[in-house]
Amino acid sequence: MLVWPHSAVLEALLAADLLGPWLAHAIEAAVLAPWPAALSRPDSLGALARPWLPSEQASWPQWCEERGIDVNCLAPAIQRREALDGWKQAHFGEAAHQKFLELGPLLDQVCFSILQTRDVHLAQEWFFKLRESDVSFADLALQSLGEEKRYGGRMGPIRMQDIQTPLDRLLARAKPGQIQPPLRIPSGHSIVLRLDWRQPAQWDDQTRNEWINGFYRRWLGEVIKQLHQRQPLPGDVCSIPLP
């Protein structure tokens, strides 16, 4: 449950454009109230203190001592952060993993070399020269029409889901290092392409956290939107719909 701010607090939050951040914090506090406390991880203090320290070698205890601050002042924030991590995992972990599996190869990252021209005969000439190793993509890049000319014909890394059709289909079936025959695309350009490498998406700690946090942010945004739509009166008690 969340208590909507009283008039004076609400007025101050609105004046400072801080109602959104206040709601995010209040919603987190409400859902974590019945949640069991988490055990602190060894790296938790470093992660929270790092933005305040001037260098990697700086000591948090020394920083606090120089400012007359209790060295344990971050303990509540650490406990809240770790409890929230556990809550996110419990409520969004399975859905995030399932969505990751559904998207599958669309999440692979690729790096490829490409040339574009309006002249189909020039594209054919490029293809033969590249296949015979007479020239490289970098050699021809300045003649290309796309953004790739700034990068020696090389593009990426980029996720497959962010690549437009029919380039995505061509890259999906291409073998690394193989020059693809010229292909006419909807823009009217003819392209010559080579897949340089493909990195399959991995469900590692970083990816899991990114996906879980994405689900969490969407849920939090929807809850805040619903609260605004209700237009509660100052002091009203508002229920928080769980995912």
Rounded to an integer, the average pLDDT of 168-180 is: 93
Domain annotation covers residue 122 = yes
Q: Are 147 and 104 within one domain?
A: no
**Helix residue ranges per DSSP H, 104-136:** 120-131
Looking at the structure, do residues 174 and 93 belong to the same domain, yes or no?
no
* Interacting residues of 228 by C-beta distance below 8 A, sequence separation 6+: none
- Quickly tell me which residue has 């946090």 as its tokens: 213
Are 122 and 178 within one domain?
yes
Same domain, 93 and 138: no
CATH classification at residue 177:
3.10.50.40
Indicate if 233 and 207 belong to the same structural domain. Answer: yes
pLDDT at 39: 61
Residues 180 and 211 in one domain: no
3-state helix, strand, coil in the chain (%, to 5): 55, 15, 30
**pLDDT one-digit tens code per residue, 132-166:** 988 999 999 999 998 999 999 999 999 999 999 89
Residue 182 forms part of a structural domain: yes
pLDDT tens digits, one per residue of 183-227: 999 989 999 999 999 999 999 999 999 999 999 999 999 999 999
Distance of CA 240 to the CA centre of its chain: 26
Do 93 and 12 lie in a common domain?
A: yes
Find out whether 190 and 118 touch, Cβ atoms under 8 Å: yes
User: What was the pLDDT predicted at 72?
Assistant: 87
- Whether 46 is in a domain gets the answer no
Are 103 and 207 part of one and the same domain? yes
Read off the amino acid at residue 215: F
87 plus 195 within the same structural domain: no
Using the predicted structure, report yes or no on whether residue 43 has a pLDDT greater than 80.
Answer: no
Q: What's the pTM value of the predicted model, to 2 decimals? A: 0.74
Residues 215 and 121 occupy one common structural domain: no
Number of domains in the chain: 2
Q: How far is it, in rounded angstroms, from Cα 85 to Cα 98?
A: 19
Q: Can you tell me the distance from the alpha carbon of 128 to that of 9, in angstroms, rounded to the nearest whole number?
A: 71
Q: In what order do the strands lie in the sheet with 190-199?
A: 154-159, 109-117, 190-199, 179-184
Both 162 and 178 in one domain: the answer is: yes
Look up residue 237 and give its DSSP letter: E
**33 and 141 co-located in one domain:** no
Q: Which domain holds residue 90?
A: 1-37+74-108+203-243
